[in-house]
Amino acid sequence: MKVQNATGGENHIRKNVSLNKTIVLAMVVLYGILLVLLTCMDLFLIGSYQRNRRREEEELLNRYAEQLGDGMRETGTIMRGIYVNNNYFNKLGGALSELEEFNQVYELDYELRNRIEVEGMPHGYIIYYHSNEKIRYYVNQSLIETKDIRLLTELCRAQLDAGSGRWQWHFADIGGNRYGILVEKRDRAAMCMIYGLKQIESSLETDLANESGGSVFFADDGGVFGCTAEELYKNIQKEELKSYENHFQGSLAGNDIYARKINNTGLWICVAIPVTLWSFMNIPQLILLFLTVSSLFGMYLLYRYARKELILPLREMIGVMKRIQDGDWDAHPDRETRFEELQKVNTAMSVMVSEIKKQKLLFYEQTIEKQKAQMQYLQLQLKPHFYLNGLKTLQALVMRGDSERLQDLIINLSWHLRYLLQAEKELVPLAAEIEYVKNYARLQGSMTGRLLDLDWKVQEGMRGWLVPTLCIQTFVENSFKYAKVGSVERRLVIWITVNELETEDGCFLDICIRDNGAGYPAQVLEEINDEPAEDCVSVGINNLKRRCRLLYGDLVQYGFYNEPGAVSDLVLPWRKGMEGPENEHTDCG
């Protein structure tokens, strides 16, 4: 669409699209894709028999692996029972005569033969005695061939000489027959249990031949053994099997390899099943693959569109909101979008930010003016009685004609009034407040003739700390008003201490003023320890509390009590934006 602008040129207006309609359209498209995928899944179920076949092959391997593990575990249990509880074997480990050795070996051999004949476990055993120089053995000849006994005997003796780890299975391939050997030694005697893998191997190969064909082989820490085609499986080494906890599945040289580790042993039983073309890829799988690739490409295009028209504008909008949150009130979204709703949101955001900016500035100005007016009002409340007392004293000095004292009083009074009239200065350096209090004390001495001593103890480095005006003078004035020291010859002493406090909440300035008078009257003490009230006796102290509340909020703390003289304690926090203590205390910021 084209429109003419004020200069006669043409502006192109982008037609906005409803976000709701776009979402509905996207749902229809996605549902169509899902429908196609579901239809293809129905076709894919035709080929599910292939997955079932693989699952059956794995289950077959697992069944034989569990059978093998049960047999080896039972053999190990028998070995442990003999090693721990069998008296014949225990006695063979000691020093015996030949007759005693023969009797113990005979009884042990008789007991084990009966167990083999009744329970079928173990498949065979070899007893070493007389410091392992003599042997006695028996095997189940259907599982262990007699010709292998000699090599098995030598293998067990080698394991004894090598001092192999206790209760660890060792495996060997002797003439194409696979055996598991468990050897344990006790002093002068040793026992070797033999477990034949031949029966498990032949039974598993028979079941595989009935299903889809395949071969069986074993692997342990010594590598792969028992392969019908060694060159086919030479790459399956112990490092590869060790990277799996108890199960391995992979492909090698056109074969699917399944392996299962026998629990509590280092033995893996493995099967290799040839892979044909149709077991690797069939028509439903090809269709599913094609649809998957097509859907990925379609989803990519959909993503590009959504990213350009929806995601990027929303991201920019969020970025603008974050900039506004950080205080950049001039931020506004620049990207145009085809979605009508997003465009309206951008326009509304710009208007809203502009209005918030105006209202915030107005609020700040009103707040500042209100605080200034309240500060000025509270300060002015403190001034009238100084004017009256000063004028009365000046009148008395004029009537007496004491020009020297009159001149000093005028200078001190003018300096005093100049300090009071600093309405714009809510905070002043502590040093200025101290000088003001000293001048105030001189004024009071000149106007009343009362004996007065100020005892200052100010921590080094604190004089640059910014404090509210009249924060010390108010309490010194209060001491003049309420401190009763008895005889007129007795001096009024006011102790003023200023210290820095460092706490977990930051740095604070502790200002404590106490005198040697009679203390606060009960009514005044109750009033100043309560919240500031409008109609009160202690105007000065309550005004100071109001000003401190405006400056510091709830962080400022007060304390008023008698000990027996009046004690006034004011704790002021260091506030962000203040100059704070002098340079050596900048860590409080």
Q: Mean pLDDT: which of 152-156, 166-170, 393-397 is highest?
A: 152-156
Work out the pLDDT band at 373, boundaries 50, 70, 90: very low
With both helix axes pointing from N to C terminus, report the angle between 283-306 and 19-44 in degrees, rounded to the nearest 10: 170
457 pLDDT higher than 90: yes
Work out the pLDDT band at 216, boundaries 50, 70, 90: confident
Which is more confident, 474 or 402?
474
The answer to the question of residue 543 being in a domain is: yes
Q: What average pLDDT does the segment 349-369 reach?
A: 73
272 pLDDT higher than 60: yes
3 pLDDT higher than 50: no
CA atoms of 123 and 111, how far apart (whole Å): 14
CA atoms of 232 and 477, how far apart (whole Å): 106
> What is the number of domains present in the chain?
3
250 and 321 both lie in a single domain = no
Residue 18 makes CB contacts below 8 A (sequence gap 6+) with 339, 340, 341
Determine which helix (DSSP H) or strand (DSSP E) holds 567, and give its type and residue range.
Answer: strand 566-573
Work out the pLDDT band at 229, boundaries 50, 70, 90: very low
199 and 230 both lie in a single domain = yes
Q: What average pLDDT does the segment 501-523 reach?
A: 87
pLDDT in tens, 147-163: 888 888 888 888 887 77
Work out the pLDDT band at 43, boundaries 50, 70, 90: low
236 and 302 both lie in a single domain = no
The answer to the question of residue 42 being in a domain is: no
Work out the pLDDT band at 243, boundaries 50, 70, 90: low
pLDDT of res. 490: 72
What is the number of other CB atoms lying within 10 angstroms of the CB of residue 295? 15
Q: Are strands 452-458 and 268-274 parallel, antiparallel or unpaired?
A: unpaired
Work out the pLDDT band at 583, boundaries 50, 70, 90: very low
Strands in 189-196's sheet, in edge-to-edge order, are 134-139, 124-129, 189-196, 177-186, 169-174
Determine which helix (DSSP H) or strand (DSSP E) holds 513, and give its type and residue range.
Answer: strand 506-515
103 and 157 both lie in a single domain = yes
| Domain end residue (candidates: 335, 369, 403) | 369
430 and 457 both lie in a single domain = yes
Residue 467 makes CB contacts below 8 A (sequence gap 6+) with 427, 428, 429, 430, 433, 509, 511, 572
Dihedral pair phi/psi, residue 130, rounded to 5°: 55, 55
194 and 300 both lie in a single domain = no
**290's tokens:** 């094609």
- Least confident among 50-54, 176-180, 485-489: 485-489
565 pLDDT higher than 70: yes
If DSSP states are collapsed to H, E and C, what string results for 204-245?
Answer: HHHHHHHHCCCEEEEEECCEEECCCCHHHHCCCCHHHHHCCC
The answer to the question of residue 89 being in a domain is: yes
- Least confident among 275-279, 411-415, 495-499: 275-279
The answer to the question of residue 175 being in a domain is: yes
pLDDT of res. 495: 93
pLDDT of res. 563: 86
Which is more confident, 114 or 387?
114
* Contact call for residues 528 and 542 (beta carbons, < 8 A): yes
Which is more confident, 485 or 481?
481
317 pLDDT higher than 60: yes
Cα atoms found within 13 Å of the Cα of residue 560, Cβ hemisphere only: 21
User: For the whole model, what pTM was predicted?
Assistant: 0.43
The answer to the question of residue 4 being in a domain is: no
CATH number, residue 450: 3.30.565.10
Give the rounded percent of residues in the chain with a pLDDT score beyond 90: 5
Interior CA angle at 584 toward 579 and 589, to 5°?
A: 45
347 and 393 both lie in a single domain = no
CA atoms of 476 and 442, how far apart (whole Å): 12
Residue bearing tokens 């820490």: 221
CA atoms of 248 and 261, how far apart (whole Å): 8
- Asked if the peptide bond before residue 564 counts as cis, ω within 30 degrees of 0, the response is yes
Closest CA to 530 of 560, 552, 487: 560
The answer to the question of residue 29 being in a domain is: no
Work out the pLDDT band at 567, boundaries 50, 70, 90: very high
Q: What average pLDDT does the segment 311-333 reach?
A: 74
316 pLDDT higher than 60: yes
488 pLDDT higher than 70: no
End-to-end CA distance of the chain: 60
200 and 293 both lie in a single domain = no
What is the extent of the structural domain holding 344?
A: 285-369
Closest CA to 559 of 573, 548, 570: 570
Residue 415 makes CB contacts below 8 A (sequence gap 6+) with 439
CA atoms of 437 and 430, how far apart (whole Å): 11
pLDDT of res. 130: 83
Q: What average pLDDT does the segment 508-536 reach?
A: 82
Work out the pLDDT band at 241, boundaries 50, 70, 90: low
CA atoms of 131 and 187, how far apart (whole Å): 8
Which is more confident, 80 or 161?
80
Q: Which DSSP symbol is given to 424?
A: T
CA atoms of 540 and 242, how far apart (whole Å): 86
Please provide the average confidence, as pLDDT, over all residues in the chain: 75
* Contact call for residues 563 and 514 (beta carbons, < 8 A): yes
Sign of the C-alpha dihedral, residues 81, 87, 92, 93?
Answer: positive
CA atoms of 497 and 366, how far apart (whole Å): 38
pLDDT of res. 570: 92
The answer to the question of residue 439 being in a domain is: yes
352 and 442 both lie in a single domain = no
pLDDT of res. 569: 93
365 and 385 both lie in a single domain = no
Tell me which amino acid residue 518 is.
A
473 pLDDT higher than 80: yes
Q: What average pLDDT does the segment 345-358 reach?
A: 77
pLDDT of res. 366: 59
The answer to the question of residue 528 being in a domain is: yes
12 pLDDT higher than 70: no
Which is more confident, 252 or 97?
97
Determine which helix (DSSP H) or strand (DSSP E) holds 169, and give its type and residue range.
Answer: strand 169-174
Residue bearing tokens 């028979």: 206
Residue bearing tokens 């077991």: 279
Interior CA angle at 518 toward 512 and 523, to 5°?
A: 85
| Domain end residue (candidates: 235, 256, 280) | 280
323 and 208 both lie in a single domain = no
| Domain end residue (candidates: 243, 258, 280) | 280
With both helix axes pointing from N to C terminus, report the angle between 473-482 and 430-448 in degrees, rounded to the nearest 10: 30
Q: Which DSSP symbol is given to 143?
A: T
Q: What average pLDDT does the segment 405-419 reach?
A: 75
**313's tokens:** 């504008």
208 and 354 both lie in a single domain = no
Q: What average pLDDT does the segment 501-511 reach?
A: 87
Tell me which amino acid residue 404 is.
E
* Contact call for residues 261 and 246 (beta carbons, < 8 A): yes
pLDDT of res. 239: 46
